[in-house]
Structure 1
Amino acid sequence: MWALVALTLWLAILFGLVSPQLIEDPLAWHRHEMLFGFAGAAIAGFALTAVPNWTGRLPIAGRALAGLSGLWLMGRIVPLTTAGHPVVSALLDGGFHVVLAFVLGREIVRSGNRNLPVVAIIATFGIASTLDRFEMGGVFEFGATGWRGGLALVVMLIALIGGRIVPSFTRNWLASQKFEGRLPAQADRFDLAIMVLGGLALLSWLALPGSLASGWLLLGAGIGHTLRLARWQGWRCASNALVAILHMGYGWLSAGLMLLGLAAFDLVTETLAVHALTTGAIATMILAVMTRATLGHTGRPLAASGITRLSYVLITVAAVARVLAGLAIAPSHALMAVAGAAWCAAFALFLLEYGPMLWSARLNDHRVAGT
């Protein structure tokens, strides 16, 4: 829902339908809400769903879950009100992910699970959100470290979690189709090397943005992730939209890193590269994981409906249009309007189809089987 609300408000300001004075520094607000509000909520949803599976413990529910949701919502609303003091807004906004990391970390430690790095990323993401809010409010100057750091962390999270689920789901589907060739392998030293290279490239982008060293590292990381993606044989999954869209999302990550590298050589703008990572990789992966997880956790068959496929097409149109808008090959405002409309339509379709699934009881196994 926030994907719709936040972007609609941004588009209304961008196209002069409402006064830009409605929000102090609308561009910074848009960037922050898309990254820490929208993507931050999706990360929380993924983690709260995944950790019980990782640990075998009960999920966070009841008052604890309501409290977390309320903290996230306050982080969205308070900065828009007269009571939204920069320090208060920053602590509320970043505090959500820090508290979430503490809650999840407690579950992982008690179970002896190995996924503490994911919790560390979530906690650091909360700190990055706080830094960005401080900078937005003029409290401190961090040289854009907040939003850059937040984006780098989400990219690393996609590389980490995507590196597990994309080949796994691909392998499972190919095996179900009696595929006789070589199946995608589990992560090995090659994958680890690409992860390390990607991390170093993003660190160089944070420490030395626009430098030739960061440019070469980012290009190398993008190529490395492309090779990693090729090992997962996504072209064999074109007939399964739920799997194919995961490959598409990871492909945007590779493209975004390479574009970010090219931006260091002034061949493209950094804004173009950032939108390839955000509207492309992050939004596509969020939609892909949300649809698949909702079907699985509500007891439904893992099959993409026509509405789901259309939402995948629309989010891809949104990403392509927004990236093309940065190339100045067509009127940028027209392309941004197309991107905004496609984005809103994609998430509206998700709400239309998956909202009722999430608001109702899980289907019984006999209903799923159609008996």
Structure 2
Amino acid sequence: MSTSPPRIESTRKPTPAVGYAPFALGFRPFFLAAGIYAVLLMGLWLAVLQGGIDLGAWRPSVWHGHEMLFGFAVAVIAGFLLTAAQNWTGLAMPSGRPLAALFLLWLAGRAGFLVPGLPPGLVAAVDLSFLPLLALALALPIHKAKQLHNYPFPVLLLALTAANALVHLEALGWTRASASLGLYLATYAVVMIMVVMGGRVIPSFTDNKLGTRARRWNLIERLLPAATLGALLAALIAPVSPVTALLAAVVAAAHFIRLAGWYTRKFWAVPLLWILHLGYAWIALGFALLALAAAGVGAAALSALHAFTAGGIGVLTLGMMARVSLGHTGRLLEPAPVMTLAFAAVNLAALIRVLLPLLFPAAYAPGMAAAGLLWVAAFGVFVAVYAPMLLRPRVDGKRG
């Protein structure tokens, strides 16, 4: 069964959009909120590092990791899956009031961490309720359409729920050291989502735009998801071990081979393509660094984490939001020129976060500030450029 999704973008010339449509389809509220929250979160994190904000019972690093994953990354995933599933299944996904209610639940989960004095149990209950409902909204049409190859997405959303629970259990004082495990589990679940989804859409988008034909090796395509899952589970169970090092190294090589099959130098002329390929390359690099960390190179552990997060999640999500938003609002797949600068900025931010711990540990503090500002600039540009598109109806008059 082919895993390539149907084309989900439009190339019709834009015409003026009238009115507002913030809840016409899932990508609209969640992509806009993800962009705004990416800027807000990083600004707050830089303030925390300067000692300007007290997070109460939450350790700063736990709060930062939790909100980057369950706030920012989950919002992008929700927007993408609620939109893509409509194309996969041919069935309507939540829109209007149901979508608004789901979005407000995500927003309430974020507010729980920003509004002082709320009971921790209430904060946990609200935050933990979003992902199971999102999984249900996705699973029902997938089950109705009998699309077995799409079942991993609801399952991975439930894995994210379990990871979120581990973080909240420590915050509630019910466990002593489960937050770190929860954050790593969440990171690896998001990596799995990106690996599966990236393997579908990146070569498809490239071929559709350039008229090329990506090379796919059947053995790699069949084994890579399972091998990736195995390497990530090994990293959770035994972060430093020869088995984890070997699995991560093999998986890194397989991902680089996969990337080589998709490669064409033509995509360097198309920012909406090279940003996706670079985003996937960060994931492959993350596994290479994970192999070094598992082999005992201690400094590589933090670099591996940020290759997956600042690199894979940051770069791939920005590129995907930029492309999907254009296609699903009926616009030409040509982003504003300033978005090319945003794509460069988010990659430079990731490069700083990954390389500094390895090569220049003494410059870690100023490097974090520089990377944070570049991140804010990248997602700030996205919000400024895309907010009008996401709030207004499609320019081609279609629904969505």
Whether TM exceeds 0.5 here: the answer is: yes
Does 2:252 correspond to 1:216? no
| 1:306-345 equivalence runs, <5 A | 306-329=337-360, 331-345=363-377
State the alpha-carbon separation in 1 of the partners of residues 259 and 233 from structure 2: 22
1:293 maps to which of 324, 334, 338: 324
Equivalent residue in structure 1 for 2:97, among 63, 70, 88: 63
2: CA distance between counterparts of 1:185 and 1:68?
Answer: 39
1:158 aligns with 194
Aligned residue pairs: how many? 359
State the AA in 2 paired with 1:232: W
- 2:38 aligned partner: 3
**Contact 1:252–1:277 (Cα < 8 Å) also in 2:** yes
The equivalent residue for 2:122 is: 88
SS at match of 1:210: coil
Partner of 1:247: 277
* Among candidates 135, 139, 145, match of residue 111 of structure 1: 145
Aligned-pair CA distance for 1:83:
4.7
Q: Which runs of 4+ in 1 moved over 3 A?
A: 19-23, 79-87
| Equivalent-residue separation in structure 2 for 1:208 and 1:254 (angstroms) | 20
* Partner secondary structure for residue 368 of structure 2: helix
2:207 to 162, 171, 188: 171
CA distance in 2, matches of 1:42, 1:273: 22
Q: Is the contact made by 1:310 and 1:346 (CA closer than 8 Å) also made in structure 2?
A: yes
In structure 2, the residue matched to 1:134 is 169
Runs of 5+ unmatched residues, structure 1? 367-371
What is the CA–CA distance in structure 1 between the aligned matches of 2:140 and 2:119, rounded to whole Å? 31
Q: Which residue does 1:233 correspond to in 2?
A: 263
Give the stretch that moved more between structures: 289-298 or 323-332: 323-332
Q: Report if the CA contact (8 A) 1:76-1:93 is conserved.
A: yes
Q: How does 1:7-18 map to 2 (within 5 A)?
A: 7-16=42-51, 18=52
Q: State the match for 2:63 in structure 1.
A: 29
Counterpart of 1:346 in structure 2 is: 378
Moved more, 353-362 or 87-96: 87-96
AA in 2 matched with 1:265: A
8 Å contact kept, 2:216–2:258:
no
Q: CA deviation at 1:190?
A: 1.6
Aligned to 2:13: none
8 Å contact kept, 1:255–1:276: yes
CA spacing shift, 1:241–1:358, aligned 2, 3 Å:
same
Return the offset for 1:167.
1.0
Q: For 1:209-231, what per-residue CA distance to the aligned partner results, in whole angstroms no more than 9, with x for missing partners?
A: 22221122112111111111111
Q: Which amino acid aligns with 2:339?
A: T
Match of 2:308 among 277, 281, 291: 277
How much does 1:23 deviate? 6.4
Give the C-alpha shift of residue 108 in structure 1: 1.5
- 1:57 Cα deviation after fit: 1.3
Deviations 1:289-346 (A, max 9, x none): 1000010011110113211111100100110111122125251112111100000000
Deviation at 1:78, TM superposition (A): 1.5
Judge conservation of contact 2:271–2:340 (CA < 8 Å) in 1.
yes
Residue 369 of structure 1: aligned partner: none
CA distance in 2, matches of 1:234, 1:255: 19
Counterpart amino acid of 2:48? I
Q: How far does residue 142 in structure 1 lie from its aligned partner after superposition?
A: 5.5
The separation in 1 between residues aligned to 2:300 and 2:281, in whole angstroms, is 20
Contact 1:273 1:323 in 2 (8 A): yes
Is 2:359 the partner of 1:359? Answer: no
Cα pair distance change 1:135/1:172, threshold 3 Å: same
Deviation at 1:42, TM superposition (A): 0.6
The residue number in structure 2 matching 1:265 is 295
**1:194-209 alignment to 2 at 5 Å?**
194-209=224-239
Task: Give the counterpart letter for 1:215 in structure 2.
Answer: A
Question: Does structure 2 conserve the Cα–Cα contact (< 8 Å) formed by 1:325 and 1:331?
Answer: yes
The farther-off stretch of 155-164 and 265-274 is 265-274
Hey, what's the Cα distance between the residues in 2 that align with 1:44 and 1:98?
12
The answer (yes or no) to whether the contact 2:124–2:168 under 8 Å persists in 1 is yes
How far residue 155 of structure 1 moved from its aligned partner, in angstroms, is: 0.6
Bigger Cα displacement from structure 2, 287-296 vs 22-31 = 22-31
SS at match of 1:158: helix
- From the superposition, tell whether residues 262 and 158 of structure 1 become closer, same or farther in structure 2 (CA, over 3 Å): same
Offset of residue 199 of structure 1: 0.9
2-structure distance, mates of 1:169, 1:21:
42
Contact conserved, 2:336 with 2:385, CA < 8 A, in 1? Answer: no
Pick one of 309, 328, 334 that aligns with 1:303.
334
Deviations along 1:227-262, one digit per CA (max 9) or x if unpaired, are 111111143311111111111000000001111111
Q: Distance in 2 between matches of 1:31 and 1:257?
A: 19
Task: Tell whether the 8 Å contact from 2:216 to 2:261 is kept in structure 1 after alignment.
Answer: no
Aligned residues with identical type, % of pairs? 36
Equivalent position amino acid for 2:324 in 1 = A
